[in-house]
Structure 1
Amino acid sequence: MQRLKAKLGPIYPILITSLIILLIFTVSRLGLSIWQFDRVSEADGWLRVLSSGLRIDIASISYLFVLPALLMSLLSGKHLMGRICIWGLRGWITFGLWLIVYMEVVTPAFIIEYDLRPNRLFIEYLIYPKEVLAMLWGGYKIELLIGLLASITALTLGWKLSCRVTQGLTVTQWKWRPLVALVVVAIGVMGARSTLGHRPLNPAMVAFSSDPLINDLTLNSSYSLMFAIKQMASEQSAEDFYPRIGPDTIISEVRDSMNIEQSAFVTEGKVTDAKPTLANHRATYQGKPKNIVILLLESHGARYVKSLGGQDLSPNLDKLYQQGWGFERIYACGTRSVRGIEAVTTGFSPTPARSVVKLGKSQTNFFSIADLLKEKQYHTQFIYGGESHFDNMKSFFLGNGFADMQDLATFKSPAFIGSWGACDEDLYDKADQQFTALSAQHKPFFSLVFSSSNHSPYDFPDDKITLFNEPKQTVENAVKYADYALGKFVEKAKNSTYWNNTVFVVVADHDNRAGGALNVPIGHFKIPAVIFGGGIEHRADNRLVSQLDLLPTLLSLAGIDSQNPIIGHDLTQQVPIEKQRVMMQRGQDFAWMTEDNQVVVFSPGKAASSYLYDPELDLLSEKPIQQSIIRRAHANAMWGSLAFKNDYYTAQKSYLISDQ
C-alpha cells in the first residue's frame, strides 16, 4: 500500500476514497435489490441493475472528484497553497462520504413512501423545514435517529480517513504536473460522461424496465438527487421527453377532443391565435348563480371507498354516493397534491414539468376558477388547516384570483393540531363559519377547502373513530377519520343557510401512494368524487371522467356562463363515448385512457406504447390500437407544455361570453 501511495502521490487519497465510496454504493444497491427481490427478478434485472449501477457510480465519483484531483495534481506540496489543498481535500472527502452515506441510509424510507429513490420531491420538501420536521418527528422518529447516527458515524470516520490517506504524500515534480493534470481531467471527464455520444450519461440511458423503481435501483441516491436538482434548474417541456409533433396538429387534436361546438370557439385554432382553446361556455343551469365549494381530500384513493370496490373505510363518502351525483370511474391527473389543485382549480392538463402551482411563470395572470369568479363578484377563498405557503400554494392562489387565505394562522383555538396543522374537524368548522358569514352577507362565494389529516404521519384526535387497525397512526385509520370529519360537515351543511344555494364537490387530490411495477399504475389514479348540495339529484355516473372535467361541470351547475380556455368536459351534457378519456401523469410518464380501457403511454426517449387495461385485475396487457387514438393521446400529452410556453392559458381581462 505504501508503494502505491508513493507512486500515485497526490492522487492516492482520491483513489482510496473512490474505492470506498464504490463499495458503499454497491453494498447499498445490492441490499435494496435483495429487498425488492421479486420485482428485480420479474424484470430480469439483476445483471442490468448491478452493471449499469457500476457505470452510474463511476460517473458519480468522477463528478465528485474531478476538480479536487485537478487541484491536487497542480498545487500539492508542503508550501502554503499545498497545505490549503490538503485541508480542502479532507473537508471534501468528509462531506462527500457523509452525503453518500446519508442519502443511501434514507433511501429505504423514501422508497416505502414514494416507491422511488430520493428525487426532486426530496428537495422540494426541504423548502418547508417547519412542516417537514414536524412530519418527520411525528411519524419517523426511528428513521431520524438512524439518519443522525449514520451522519455522525460518516463524518467521524470520514475525517479520520481523510487524515490517514493524506499523510506522507509524495510530491510530483513540477515538470510532470501539467501532464498529470491533463490525464486526471481526461479520466474524470470520461468517467463522468460515461459515453462518447453527444449527451453524457443520464438515467434514461440505463433505464430498462417498465417498473420505475427498478430503473431507480440502477442509480444511486446521490446521483438521483443531483440529477433532480439539475432538472429543476430549467422548466421541463414535453418536447424534451416525448416524440415531437407539429403545434398545429396538437391544437387541432385537442380542440377536436373537447366536447363543444366548433362555433363556440373564439379563435380559428391556429398557432398564431392567442388562445386556441378559448371558447364560449353556456351553463346548463340558468337561474341565480350559486356558490361553489371544492372539498379536496388529501390522498383519499378509490381503494378506501366501498362504493368504488375498495375497503369499507369511508361510510360517509358512501352515503354521499347514495345521495348525490357520484362518479364511479373518475381518475386523478397526477400523484401530488399540487397536481390535483392544478386540475380542479385551473383545468390545466398535466405535463412532465412541475404543477403550474409551482412554476414561476404562472404565479400571476394564469387562468383559474377563482379569477373567473372574482370578476363575477364572488368572494374567493382558500381554507387550509396548515401553512398556506406550503408547496407554493399561497403565492399561486393570491396571484390568480384567490382573495382570501384562511390558513392555520386564522384559526381560533383549534381543538387539535398535528404535523400538518389543524385537524379536519377544525378545518370544516372553519369552513362552516366562513360560509355562514358569507351567506349572511348575501355574498356569492367560491371556496377551495383542502384537508390534511390523511397525510403521514397521520395525526388526528383520539376517541373519534373506532380504529381499523393498530397502531393508531396508520393510513387506514387516518382515512376513516378524514371521512368522519367530512360526514360531520355535510350534516351540518344540510341544516345551514347556504346549503340550498351551493354546489359542493368532494374529490381526492390523488391516491395515497402510486407505487407498483407499471410506469403509470392506473389503479392508483382512481379516486372518489361526488357532487352534492341543494338541487343536486342522486345519480350514479359510470362514464369515464377526469379531474379536468369537474371544473367546467361545477361552473355549469352554478349557472356561470363564461369565455374560458378549459378543455375539460361539462358533464351536465352528453359526452360521446369516443370523447370520454382520462390523462394521468406520473413524473415524466404520461398515460391516456379511452372509455373502453385502451391505454397509450408516453415515456422519456421512447415511442408510444399501447395497452389494454383490465380494471378488475389492475393489469396492462400490450395491444396495438388505432393510430388515431395514439395521435390524439400524443397531442394531449404535448398540449400543456405548448400552452404554457405560448401563454395560451393566461387569465383574461373579461370572461364575458362574446356575441355569437
Structure 2
Amino acid sequence: MDQVITVPTSQRVKTKLGPLLPLLSFVLIDLLILSLSRFMLSIWQSERVFTVNDYEQIFLGGLRIDFSALGYLFAPALLMVIIATLLHQTRLLRLPLKIYLVAGSLLLLFFELITPTFILEYDLRPNRLFIDYLIYPKEVFSMLFGGYKLEMVTTLLVLGLAGKSLVLAYNRLWRPAVKGTFWSQITLQLLLVCLLVLGARGTLGHRPINPALVAFSNDHLLNDLSLNSAYSVAFANKQLKNEMSSADYYGPMDTQTLLSEVRRTLQDSQADYGDPLAPTKTMHTSPFPQRKKNLVILLQESLGARYVGKLGGLPLTPNLDQLMDEGWNFTQMYATGTRSVRGIEAVVTGFTPTAARSVVKLGKSQQNFFTLAGFLAQQGYHTQFVYGGESHFDNMKSFFLGNGFQDIVEGADFDKVDFTGSWGASDEDLYDQADKEFTQLQEKGKPFFSLVFTSSNHSPFEYPDGKITPYDSPKQTRNNAAKYSDYALGQFIRKAKQSNYWKDTVFVVVADHDSRVHGSSLVPVRHFRIPAVIFGQDVPHKVENRLASQIDLGPTLLSFIGASGEHPMLGNDFTQPLKADQPRAMLQYDKNFAYLKAGKAIVFQPHKTPQTFLLDSENLVPTQTDARLTKEAHAYANFGSLAYEKGWYQP
C-alpha cells in the first residue's frame, strides 16, 4: 500500500498564498510595531494616560488609524502582486517586494523611534514641524549632532538590527510558487483590495478617517497617542499642500458678521474703516506726536515665564528682572503660538494666529503684507533684521526683504564671532554686532527700527564656557542656556546705556514663545505666558497686570515712538484707555485655537463644537457655554485665514 504524505495545513495555506504571504505577514509585523510603540508611549506617559476614564480610546482609535495607515502603505505592494499574477511572473516579485516591504516597515519604525524626543520637545507626535525642519538640513543636523548624539546612535542601531531581522523574515516567508487556479488567486487578491480600501478609509461615512474622528480627550497628547507618527506626518503634509483655512477647521462665519464682531471689540469704537480692500485698516494716532524715537525689538528665543524670576519662575534672569523694575513690565503677556515664526508673525506684523503656517512662510504674504518695518520705512526709518544664524531659515529673509526690511545682518556678516553654536553666533556676539549697527545708524542721524533675534537658548543649548555659574548639570540644559542668554542681554544693556543711541531709542524685550510647550489640556495656557518689557530713557516704570497678547505690542510700540498712520493691526494700544473687558489673547496650539478674555477661555478644535472654560490660575475648568464670547472668538479664530486669502492685511 502506497504511503500517503500529509502536508501540514499551515504549509498548504502558505503555498496557496504565495507572494501574498510576506505581504500579509508584514501587515501583522507593522501592526505589532505600531501597537507596541503606542503601548510603551502610554506607559511612559502613564500619569496622564491612566488618569482619564476612557483611556482605552487611545488603543481603539489607534487601531483604526493604524489600519488606515497600513491600508495606504500596502496598497502599492498589493498592486505589484496583482500585476505579477496577471502576467504570470510572480517570481520576479521577490526583490522589489522585499525592498518595498522592508523599507516601509523601517519607515514606520523610524518615526516611532523619534517620537519620544519629539514629545519631550513639543508634547506632540511628529507633525508639520517635522516637515518644516526638513527644509533646513544643515541647521537640523548641526543641532542633532550637538545635542542628540545618543538618540541618533540608538535610532540607527535599532533600525540596523530591525532591517536585518526583516530581511531574514522576508526570505523565510517568500513563496514564489502558488497552488490554486488563476481565478482563485485573483479573487483572493481583489478581496484584499476591498479590505485595504476599507482599512484606509477607516469608516463607512462620507469622509475618510482623520485625527478628529479618534480624538476623545482634552489632553492634546492623549489624542496624539491615538495616531501613529508616520500617519501624523503624512496627514500634516497633506494639509500643508491644501493649506486649509481656519473656517475648514472651526466652521464658517459670514464675512460681514465676522468683520462686525472684530470691529465691535476693537479699542477705538469711533474708528473709520474706509478701505473695503483692507477692512480693518484705520488711523492710529500716537499720544506722543513730538517724539520720533528709534525702535529696537529684542526677540528672545524660547524664553517662557517659567524661566523668569520676576514672573514667578526660576532665578535665571537677573538682568531681565532688573529691566522689569525699570521699564513697563507686562506680567500677563501671552504668545500666540509655539514656534519662532509664529512669534515673529505676531510681534512684527500684529497678525492673528491661524491653523495654517505662519504668514512668514506662506506664498501670498511675501510681498505687500503689513509689517512694522514697512510702516516705519514709509516714515523715513532705516529698517533692519539682525540674527546670528542664517536668515534664510524659516523663510525669514524672503519675508522680511519683501515686506519693508531694508537691511539684513546675519552671522556671516558679523565683524567678530567668538563662539558659534548649531544655530549660529552666540548671543554675546549678536548683541556686540547689534550695538555696532545701532551706533553707526545713530551717527547717520536717521531714525531706525531693528529686530534682533537671539538663538543661544535653543536646543542643543550651546554657549561659551566661563560666562555663567551653571544652574544645573550637565552644561547644555535649557536652564543654563536661558541663564547665559540673560547674561548676554545684561552685557548689552549696560553697553547700550552708555551709547549715543540710548536716549533716542525705545526697546522691548519679548519672547517668541516658551520652550517645550506641554500639558494635559486642549491648550496648555501656562506655557504660552512669556516675558515682555518696554524700556528706555523716556519709558516710565509701570507694572502692567492686564491680559496682553503679542499682537498688542505693535500698536503700543508705535505710540511710544511717536509714529502715527493707518494700519490694519487688531492689537490693543496699552498707552491708550482700555475698557475693563478689552484685553484678550489668542493662542494657537497646533490645530486648537484658544481665545482668552475676562477670565474665560473659548477653545476651538477641528470639526468639534467649541468649548467654554473658566481660567483658574491658567488651568481650564469646563463651564457652561458663553454664546456671546464664543461668537467673538469664532470671528478672531477665522479672521487670519480670511484676511490672508482676501489680501486684507495690506501696508
TM range (shorter): over 0.9
Which residue type is aligned with residue 642 of structure 1? Answer: L
Alignment partner of 1:489 is 2:496: no
Question: How far apart are 1:178 and its partner, in Å?
Answer: 4.6
The residue aligned with 1:242 is 250
The residue aligned with 2:159 is 151
Task: Report SS of the residue matched to 2:572.
Answer: coil
Alpha-carbon distance between aligned partners in 1 of 2:583 and 2:155, rounded to the nearest angstrom: 48
Question: How far apart are 1:556 and its partner, in Å?
Answer: 1.0
Question: How far apart are 1:538 and its partner, in Å?
Answer: 0.9
The residue aligned with 1:58 is 67
The residue aligned with 1:620 is 620
The residue aligned with 2:604 is 602
The 5 Å alignment of 1:134-213 reads 134-170=142-178, 173-176=181-184, 178-213=186-221
Task: Report SS of the residue matched to 1:285.
Answer: coil
The residue aligned with 2:536 is 533
Alpha-carbon distance between aligned partners in 1 of 2:144 and 2:138, rounded to the nearest angstrom: 10
Alignment partner of 1:648 is 2:651: no
Which residue type is aligned with residue 125 of structure 2? Answer: R
Deviations 1:520-576 (A, max 9, x none): 111111111010112111111111111101001111111111111111111110111
The 5 Å alignment of 1:166-565 reads 166-170=174-178, 173-176=181-184, 178-267=186-275, 273-565=276-568
Q: Is the 8 A contact 1:436 1:496 kept in 2?
A: yes
Question: How far apart are 1:44 and its partner, in Å?
Answer: 2.4
The residue aligned with 1:270 is none
Question: How far apart are 1:117 and its partner, in Å?
Answer: 0.9
Alignment partner of 1:586 is 2:594: no
Alpha-carbon distance between aligned partners in 2 of 1:410 and 1:82, rounded to the nearest angstrom: 61
Deviations 1:432-466 (A, max 9, x none): 00000111111211111000111111001111111
Question: How far apart are 1:172 and its partner, in Å?
Answer: 5.8
Moved more, 39-48 or 187-196: 39-48
Moved more, 599-608 or 621-630: 621-630
Question: How far apart are 1:514 and its partner, in Å?
Answer: 1.3
Task: Tell me the percent identity.
Answer: 50
Alpha-carbon distance between aligned partners in 2 of 1:104 and 1:202, rounded to the nearest angstrom: 19
**How many residues are aligned here?**
642
The residue aligned with 1:656 is none
Task: Report SS of the residue matched to 1:236.
Answer: coil
Change (3 A) 1:629 1:568: same
Which residue type is aligned with residue 27 of structure 2? Answer: S
Alpha-carbon distance between aligned partners in 2 of 1:86 and 1:364, rounded to the nearest angstrom: 53
Alpha-carbon distance between aligned partners in 1 of 2:291 and 2:510, rounded to the nearest angstrom: 25
Q: Is the 8 A contact 1:76 1:171 kept in 2?
A: no
Which residue type is aligned with residue 289 of structure 2? Answer: Q
- Tell me the TM-score normalized by structure 1: 0.95
Alpha-carbon distance between aligned partners in 2 of 1:328 and 1:10, rounded to the nearest angstrom: 65
Task: Report SS of the residue matched to 2:650.
Answer: coil
Alpha-carbon distance between aligned partners in 2 of 1:587 and 1:328, rounded to the nearest angstrom: 25
The residue aligned with 1:632 is 632
Deviations 1:580-609 (A, max 9, x none): 111111011111111x32111111111111
Q: Is the 8 A contact 1:332 1:510 kept in 2?
A: yes
The residue aligned with 1:16 is 25
The residue aligned with 1:654 is none
Alpha-carbon distance between aligned partners in 2 of 1:514 and 1:70, rounded to the nearest angstrom: 43
Q: Is the 8 A contact 1:74 1:178 kept in 2?
A: no
Task: Report SS of the residue matched to 2:385.
Answer: strand
The residue aligned with 2:3 is none
Alpha-carbon distance between aligned partners in 2 of 1:263 and 1:575, rounded to the nearest angstrom: 15
The residue aligned with 1:130 is 138
For structure 1, the 5+ residue unaligned runs are 268-272, 652-660
Question: How far apart are 1:623 and its partner, in Å?
Answer: 1.7
For structure 2, the 5+ residue unaligned runs are 1-9
- Tell me the TM-score normalized by structure 2: 0.96
Alignment partner of 1:611 is 2:613: yes
Question: How far apart are 1:78 and its partner, in Å?
Answer: 9.1
Which residue type is aligned with residue 434 of structure 2? Answer: A
Task: Report SS of the residue matched to 2:432.
Answer: helix
Task: Report SS of the residue matched to 1:292.
Answer: strand
Question: How far apart are 1:624 and its partner, in Å?
Answer: 2.2
Q: Is the 8 A contact 1:97 1:154 kept in 2?
A: no
Change (3 A) 1:519 1:170: same
Alpha-carbon distance between aligned partners in 2 of 1:169 and 1:64, rounded to the nearest angstrom: 25
Deviations 1:364-389 (A, max 9, x none): 11111111112222111111111111
Question: How far apart are 1:171 and its partner, in Å?
Answer: 6.1
Q: Is the 8 A contact 1:77 1:83 kept in 2?
A: no
Task: Report SS of the residue matched to 1:510.
Answer: coil
Change (3 A) 1:84 1:279: farther
Task: Report SS of the residue matched to 1:42.
Answer: coil
The residue aligned with 1:101 is 109
Which residue type is aligned with residue 545 of structure 1? Answer: A
The residue aligned with 1:655 is none
Which residue type is aligned with residue 620 of structure 2? Answer: L
Task: Report SS of the residue matched to 1:233.
Answer: helix
Question: How far apart are 1:112 and its partner, in Å?
Answer: 1.0
Task: Report SS of the residue matched to 1:260.
Answer: coil
Alpha-carbon distance between aligned partners in 2 of 1:6 and 1:644, rounded to the nearest angstrom: 59
Q: Is the 8 A contact 1:9 1:169 kept in 2?
A: yes
Question: How far apart are 1:288 and its partner, in Å?
Answer: 4.1
Alpha-carbon distance between aligned partners in 2 of 1:644 and 1:97, rounded to the nearest angstrom: 40
Change (3 A) 1:25 1:304: same
Question: How far apart are 1:83 and its partner, in Å?
Answer: 4.3
Question: How far apart are 1:84 and its partner, in Å?
Answer: 4.1
Which residue type is aligned with residue 628 of structure 2? Answer: S
Alignment partner of 1:568 is 2:571: yes
Deviations 1:149-187 (A, max 9, x none): 122223222333333322444166444455344322211
Question: How far apart are 1:316 and its partner, in Å?
Answer: 0.7
Alignment partner of 1:48 is 2:57: yes
Deviations 1:211-259 (A, max 9, x none): 1111111111111111111111111211111132211111011111111
Q: Is the 8 A contact 2:612 2:626 kept in 1?
A: no
Which residue type is aligned with residue 551 of structure 2? Answer: L
Q: Is the 8 A contact 1:545 1:582 kept in 2?
A: yes
Task: Report SS of the residue matched to 1:90.
Answer: helix
Moved more, 160-169 or 570-579: 160-169
Alpha-carbon distance between aligned partners in 2 of 1:422 and 1:633, rounded to the nearest angstrom: 41
Task: Report SS of the residue matched to 1:585.
Answer: strand
Which residue type is aligned with residue 510 of structure 1? Answer: H
Alpha-carbon distance between aligned partners in 1 of 2:357 and 2:87, rounded to the nearest angstrom: 50
Moved more, 154-163 or 282-291: 154-163
Moved more, 367-376 or 492-501: 367-376
Task: Report SS of the residue matched to 1:578.
Answer: coil
Task: Report SS of the residue matched to 1:434.
Answer: helix
Alpha-carbon distance between aligned partners in 2 of 1:286 and 1:507, rounded to the nearest angstrom: 25
Q: Is the 8 A contact 1:74 1:181 kept in 2?
A: no
Alpha-carbon distance between aligned partners in 2 of 1:130 and 1:520, rounded to the nearest angstrom: 32
Q: Is the 8 A contact 2:385 2:452 kept in 1?
A: yes
Alpha-carbon distance between aligned partners in 1 of 2:86 and 2:605, rounded to the nearest angstrom: 51
Change (3 A) 1:626 1:17: closer
